[in-house]
Structure 1
Amino acid sequence: MAACKDGDLRVRGISSAIRVVPNFPKPGIMFQDITTLLLDPKAFRDAIDIFVDRYKDKEISVVAGIEARGFLFGPPIALAIGAKFVPMRKPRKLPGEVIAEEYVLEYGKDRLEMHVGAVQPGERALIVDDLIATGGTLCAAIKLLERAGAEVVECACVIELPELKGRGKLDGKALYILVESR
C-alpha cells in the first residue's frame, strides 16, 4: 500500500523532492537519491508525519532502522510514537554481542547484525528503510527480529522499485511505501 493511493497530497511533494540520478553507481541504474528529500524540510517533515500518523496507534514498541538510510527516518518516527530505535547494521559495526542474518545480493552476500537483547520477545516491531528493491535486506531484518521473538507488524519504506518485485519476497509481511520509483 502506498500513501499516494490513499489520496495524500503531501506525497507529490515528497516524490518531487527525490532526485533520480541516471547511471549511478553503475550504467543502467536509475539511483533514487533521498539526500535531496532531506534538503527539503517540508517534504522531509511530511514523510515523517505520514509514517507517524500511520503507526502512532499501532502499539509499536520497536522501530528497527536498516543501515544507513533507515537511520535517517527511523529515529524521528520512533521518538514521535514513543518507541525505542534499534539499529540494524552491516557486519562488525556494533560493539558487544550480536545476532546476524545473511542475505543474498545480485553480486554476492551481505549480513545484517543487531545487538543481543535490543529486542525482547513479544515486542511489536516496525522496520524502516529508505527503499525496497529486491527485498533481501528487509527479509534479513524480518528474520533477525523474529529470531529475537518480536512480532514484525510492518515494513515501511519511502520508495519502492516495483519492477524488482521485492515486495513478493517478504513472505506476506505488510509493506507500506510513500512513492514508487520514477
Structure 2
Amino acid sequence: MDRLRQSLLDAPLIQKGDYQYFVHPISDGVPMLEPGLLREIVIGIIRKAELEDVDKIVTPAAMGIHISTAVSLMTDIPLVVIRKRQYGLDGEISLSKETGYSESEMYINDVHPGDKVLVLDDVLSTGGTLLAIAEALDSIDADIRDIVAVIKKAGENELDGTKYEVKTLINVTVEDDEVVITDEHGDG
C-alpha cells in the first residue's frame, strides 16, 4: 500500500469549521486519481475481503462507485449502487443515512433476501452511512459477507459496539496540520 500511504501523506488539508479535512482522490475525486493508486487499492480489497460465494458488490453513491466498479471488473461480481434518488422500482428499499456532515435518504434496488453481498465504501469516518446500509441490508435478509472501507479516520464511529465489522486498508488521523498514518494495514 505504498501509493495509498504516500497519497494520504501528500493529501492537501482544508479547514471546514473546526474540522481539518484531507482532500484525497479516493474520497473526493480530487486531486486526480492515478490508475496505479486505484489498482493498488483494488488488489488490497481483493486480498482482504471475503469474496467466496459473493453474489453482489453493494456501494453507496458517489465515492464508492469508482472503487467498486474496478473490483467488479476484476472479480466478475455484479455491482449494485445505492442511490440518493428514488426510482420506485419493485423491491426498492429506502434508508436514512446520517453522517457528521449531512442527513439524507438513499435507495437500494436489486438486492434480495439471501443475496450474499460485499459492501464497499471509500472512507469510514462517522460510520453513519455504513451502519444505515448494513441495517437496510439486514432488513432485506441479505447475507452481508464482508464490509470493506479503503480509509478509516481514527476515532469512534457508529459501528463501534455493533455486530458489523469493517475491514480497512489504512487508518489515518489529522494532527497538527498533517495526515498521520495510525495503521498501515488497516483493520481486519
* Bucket of the pairwise TM-score, normalised by the shorter protein: 0.7 to 0.9
Which among 39, 45, 54 is matched to residue 51 of structure 1?
Answer: 45
Give the drift of 1:158.
1.0
Instruction: Give the structure with the larger helix fraction.
Output: 1
Contact 2:7 2:24 in 1 (8 A): no
Gaps of 5+ in 1: 1-10
Contact 2:131 2:158 in 1 (8 A): no
For 1:12 and 1:119, how far apart are their aligned partners in 2?
Answer: 35
Superposition pairs of residues 84-163 of structure 1, within 5 angstroms: 84-92=78-86, 94=87, 96-97=89-90, 98-106=92-100, 109-115=103-109, 118-163=110-155
For 2:20 and 2:138, how far apart are their aligned partners in 1?
Answer: 32
Check if 1:74 corresponds to 2:65: no
SS at 1:23's partner residue?
A: strand
> 2:5 corresponds to which residue?
15
Q: 1:10-57: per-residue Cα shift (whole Å, max 9, x none)?
A: x12212123533234445222241236863222210111111233475
The one-letter amino acid of 2:14's match is N
Contact 2:149 2:169 in 1 (8 A): yes
Give the drift of 1:166.
4.3
Gaps of 5+ in 2: 173-178, 180-188
Check if 1:180 corresponds to 2:171: yes
The one-letter amino acid of 2:134's match is I
Count of aligned positions: 168
For 1:151 and 1:159, how far apart are their aligned partners in 2?
Answer: 23
Greater alpha carbon shift after TM alignment, 136-145 vs 72-81: 72-81
Give the drift of 1:134.
0.8
For 2:102 and 2:44, how far apart are their aligned partners in 1?
Answer: 35
- With over 3 angstroms needed to count, the CA separation of the structure-2 counterparts of 1:31 and 1:174, relative to structure 1, is same
Contact 1:17 1:37 in 2 (8 A): no
Check if 1:40 corresponds to 2:34: yes
* Cα RMSD, aligned residues only: 2.4
The one-letter amino acid of 2:35's match is P
- Sequence identity percentage: 17
